[in-house]
Structure 1
Amino acid sequence: MQQPVIIYNTLSRSKEEFKPINPPLVGMYVCGPTVYSDVHLGNCRTFISFDIIFRYLSHLGYKVRYVRNVTDAGHLESDADVGEDKIAKKAKLAQVEPMEIVQKYTVGFRQVMEVFNVLPPSIEPTATGHIIEQIEMTRKLLENGYAYEVNGSIYFDVDKYNKEQNYGILSGRNIEDLLNNTRDLDGQEEKRGALDFALWIKAKPEHLMQWPSPWGMGFPGWHLECSAMSNKYLGSHFDIHGGGMDLIPTHHTNEIAQNIAFCGKHPANYWVHTNMLTVNGQKMSKSLGNSFLPHELFTGLHPLLNKGYSPMVVRFFMLQAHYRSTLDFSNEALDASEKGFKRMMAAYDLLEDLSTSDQSTSDIMALKKRCYDAMSDDFNTPIAIAELFEGVRIINSVKAGLETITPEDLEALKQLFNSFLFNIFGLTKDEHAANNVGKVIDLLIDIRNNAKANRDYATSDAIRNKLLEIGYQLKDSKEGTTWSTV
């Protein structure tokens, strides 16, 4: 390993030196998407952030087993274990099988991740693929006395657990504060306590997604799936667990309780959480009309956007804020990122044309150290990017004859830019542009086809016309839709 890595641990609310349980092996679990709708930009930021962590630890020589689940069952409309399953509800409205909804949005999610050049995880398990493991964990929690059955549903007993452990250890809140902010039983009179949560839910006859269990036909609770899958693939105690900060108060808090009640071990050493997105200083939300889907950023088809931006510009933009900081979207910020991205890539292209000398006027080894120091300080991409722009200045100055560089330092500068731009930051260069454009257009064609199927002809026509404006023509036929340049 080149140097120690410091990680901010949500659990301790402080920075800690990263010490893997079994180096060089690293176990990392990140809560993945619930596949009932298009992936939104907040999800993209989270997965891009963990892609950077995955890439950087791998770059340092760690062997990372990265597990990112897919929630394809058990996610109800309310965290209080009431309402319909979101996927089943969508399937009823569309009059299709629930797994058709799962397949459609899983494929869409993976397409978006590929467009953003996010590496696939080592393992991508699904909730429906691990029903047996979830049943067995529920059985063990009942046996250990931390769960109870009511009419075929199994609930976790938070009050009993909290008498022995600190239920709010991750959020830093005590149980009295949590109870004060919870509605009494939230319509679930079966529960003994307002904070109790479902491990297994008895299915009504009309419920579309249900499985046999020792307690009758039912389906797993949302929180249980991650505990079951992390235990299976990473063991009862692993290195890093992460997701968006919105998961801290309920989902991740319940995961910790389940795991300790199940096997007596805290699931992860380090808890890592990404912050939220804002737009012009306001929280991003559908109700405010300021939320973005990825394709809206790529095409500019959003009232708040002046134009579209390439996936790599958007990725570069996201890296210019620390993953624990809020990220504010604005046309001005995206324009600045676009200029910065082009400037960075233009400087990289000059590296092959630089003349060398017998001495260097800049300390390239010190620049390299500062870049690695930034990334090793809680994956501080904005500082690392700022240091790389010092490298851009050196490149431009050498090209203009204002500075000199030795062959050895030039080679070190090439390696530095290659490592950070492409291996660690996951950016792609111009020679990949045609492939990336193709992926984006294929994604937009899928979105347009869905719009047409839903009789949303305004969106369908807008996508076609916008593509035509920038030089890409769509042609519809019985065989499907194809595209070409004009």
Structure 2
Amino acid sequence: MQFYQNQALKIYNSLSGEKQVFTPIHQGSVGMYVCGPTVYSNVHLGNCRTFISFDLVYRYLKHLGYKVRYVRNITDVGHIEDDADEGEDKIAKKARLEKLEPMEIVQQYSVDFHQILELFNNLPPSIEPTATGHIIEQIETIKEIMSNGFAYESNGSVYFDVVTFNKTHNYGQLSGRNLDDMLSNSRELAGQDEKRNPADFALWKKAEPQHIMRWPSPWGDGFPGWHLECTSMSTKYLGKHFDIHGGGMDLKFPHHECEIAQNEAATGQSPVNYWMHANMLTLNGKKMSKSTGNNILPREIFTGNNDKLSKPFSPAVVRFFILQAHYRSVLDFSNDAILAAEKGYNRLMEALETIIHLNPANSSTLDINAWKQACYDAMNDDFNSPILIAQLFEGVHYINLLKEKKESLSATDIETLSKTMHAFVFDVLGLKDEKGSDGSNEKLEGVVNMLIEMRKEARANKNFSLSDEIRNKLTSMGIELKDTKEGTTFSIN
């Protein structure tokens, strides 16, 4: 159904700094590009928040009846450390450290990325192009930029001429930065003498003899700049002008700013109507960082194999936790916060199980259609998932009132309540009922707890062979045990 004809969706546009009514370029169709991962390490929870946020956007656009082409890339030519123009390629560096081929690294972490997002119940994108699969397109984009006078070759590398571009365009329009300030604050970098100006960025880098990932080009063997791949792949699959471009807040500058410059330099037009940015995820009030140890991976949450949480949590609960905050707000992950989210998630699932047992009345005492529109109003306000969830809990309140016979609904209104709850919980929020309405999960939990007790008794009797056998057999079935001071818990992988 084409709900979009009756719903006025507004999107916060990072380019304008305000919410704007969403009007697609082609009626009924949406082109959306989201920057994907650089596959040189396990995807972390902060990355997952970005991809879950845009999965929500994708799901709601589809729910409204739009035909959506969702393109999300894989960066398998690792950009340079700290996104500079000098240094070692992240994927090549990982390959060297682990004594593997770069494409082995790419394959390993691409598989991990897909597995994690599948556990989070993310829908796959329509197209998932790779940077290495589009080297020819990137070389052609560079040629266009050079022919238009906005790039230059220097010692086998090609750089984007930011100063020349800024004379006729606005470099800094997305991030609100001033080029003169950027130039005055730029520090001298190694290899800086190749550039005309410190703000210039690489479109193509000459490969040094030791560089593994390299391709032939008109300027010699080398590899593309990080910003270039998204420009080339987005325009190939969505055209020179498309609807939505998304990514994490940390990509606004320099990545997305450079994308706009490249597109305008190559095609003469602004590439995107609505720029969207998801905010960061903190852990216990501090920025997530591998170097400081303030970091947690999704699998560590699912298995309980970490020192930050009191128990394992399912992917659906973690997804629900993430969606309880608006995608543009900072979200802090903590043990207390995820415990609270689990309680809320369980309440929601229990209410959905209750709906099917409600008895209709001849008349209604609740305005279900107004509540239904309030759910749409929440999502129409820049995909405001926390307000939607608040409305869904208002629906839970209605269900409990009906169960206790304190209110009544007609059969038609009960059907509307049920369909709306299911549509927004499962189709839009993308949650899964991991409790199981048939009680199968509860039965499984009872069996596993019985085996845990048997294992506990075996250990007390120093029968460690039986104890190990129970653990190993459960592990082989995807059930992982975690022993703590408080006892043994389990998680299902």
Determine the C-alpha separation between the residues in 1 that align with 2:332 and 2:135. 39
Correspondence list, 1:443-462, <5 A: none
2:115 to 111, 121, 124: 111
The answer for the alignment partner of 1:332 in structure 2 is 336
The answer for the alignment partner of 2:452 in structure 1 is none
The answer for the alignment partner of 1:125 in structure 2 is 129
Asked whether the 8 Å contact 1:42–1:276 carries over to 2, the reply is: yes
Matched, 1:192 2:196: yes
Determine the C-alpha separation between the residues in 2 that align with 1:420 and 1:209. 45
Matched, 1:281 2:279: no
Matched, 1:256 2:260: yes
Determine the C-alpha separation between the residues in 2 that align with 1:485 and 1:241. 39
Correspondence list, 1:219-368, <5 A: 219-368=223-372
Letter of the structure 1 residue corresponding to residue 382 of structure 2: D
The answer for the alignment partner of 2:29 in structure 1 is 25
Asked whether the 8 Å contact 1:474–1:483 carries over to 2, the reply is: yes
The answer for the alignment partner of 1:137 in structure 2 is 141
The answer for the alignment partner of 1:473 in structure 2 is 474
Determine the C-alpha separation between the residues in 1 that align with 2:349 and 2:82. 46
Q: What SS class does the counterpart of residue 248 from structure 1 fall into? A: helix
1:379 to 372, 378, 383: 383
Determine the C-alpha separation between the residues in 1 that align with 2:412 and 2:39. 50
Structure with larger Rg:
2
Letter of the structure 1 residue corresponding to residue 236 of structure 2: K
Q: What SS class does the counterpart of residue 130 from structure 2 fall into? A: coil
The answer for the alignment partner of 2:212 in structure 1 is 208
Correspondence list, 1:48-67, <5 A: 48-67=52-71
Query: Taking structure 2 as the reference length, what is the TM-score of the superposition?
Result: 0.88
Determine the C-alpha separation between the residues in 1 that align with 2:236 and 2:469. 45
The answer for the alignment partner of 1:454 in structure 2 is none
| Cα RMSD, aligned residues only | 2.1
Q: What SS class does the counterpart of residue 223 from structure 1 fall into? A: helix
Asked whether the 8 Å contact 1:472–1:485 carries over to 2, the reply is: no
- Give the share of equivalent positions with the same residue, in percent: 60
Correspondence list, 1:164-175, <5 A: 164-175=168-179
Shift of 1:468: 7.5
Query: Taking structure 1 as the reference length, what is the TM-score of the superposition?
Result: 0.89
Determine the C-alpha separation between the residues in 2 that align with 1:12 and 1:484. 49
Change (3 A) 1:366 1:45: same
Determine the C-alpha separation between the residues in 1 that align with 2:385 and 2:203. 38
Shift of 1:283: 1.8
Asked whether the 8 Å contact 2:40–2:78 carries over to 1, the reply is: no
Change (3 A) 1:272 1:263: same
Letter of the structure 2 residue corresponding to residue 70 of structure 1: I
Change (3 A) 1:359 1:181: farther
Change (3 A) 1:432 1:347: closer
Determine the C-alpha separation between the residues in 1 that align with 2:468 and 2:324. 28
The answer for the alignment partner of 1:448 in structure 2 is none
Letter of the structure 1 residue corresponding to residue 30 of structure 2: V
Deviation per CA, 1:291-333: give whole Å up to 9, x if none.
Answer: 1110111122222211111000000000000000001111111
Q: What SS class does the counterpart of residue 81 from structure 2 fall into? A: coil
Determine the C-alpha separation between the residues in 2 that align with 1:20 and 1:41. 31
The answer for the alignment partner of 2:485 in structure 1 is none
Shift of 1:237: 0.6
- Please identify, of 363-372 and 88-97, the stretch whose mean Cα deviation from structure 2 is larger: 88-97
Unaligned runs of 5+ in 1: 438-464, 476-481
Change (3 A) 1:182 1:424: same
Determine the C-alpha separation between the residues in 2 that align with 1:467 and 1:275. 45
Shift of 1:187: 4.1
Determine the C-alpha separation between the residues in 2 that align with 1:393 and 1:63. 34
Q: How many residues align?
A: 451
Determine the C-alpha separation between the residues in 1 that align with 2:129 and 2:293. 33
Letter of the structure 2 residue corresponding to residue 293 of structure 1: L
Determine the C-alpha separation between the residues in 1 that align with 2:91 and 2:437. 35
- Please identify, of 43-52 and 77-86, the stretch whose mean Cα deviation from structure 2 is larger: 77-86
Determine the C-alpha separation between the residues in 2 that align with 1:78 and 1:55. 33
Q: What SS class does the counterpart of residue 310 from structure 2 fall into? A: coil
The answer for the alignment partner of 1:452 in structure 2 is none
Matched, 1:85 2:89: yes
Determine the C-alpha separation between the residues in 2 that align with 1:336 and 1:82. 45
Letter of the structure 1 residue corresponding to residue 288 of structure 2: M
Asked whether the 8 Å contact 1:374–1:383 carries over to 2, the reply is: yes
Shift of 1:91: 1.0
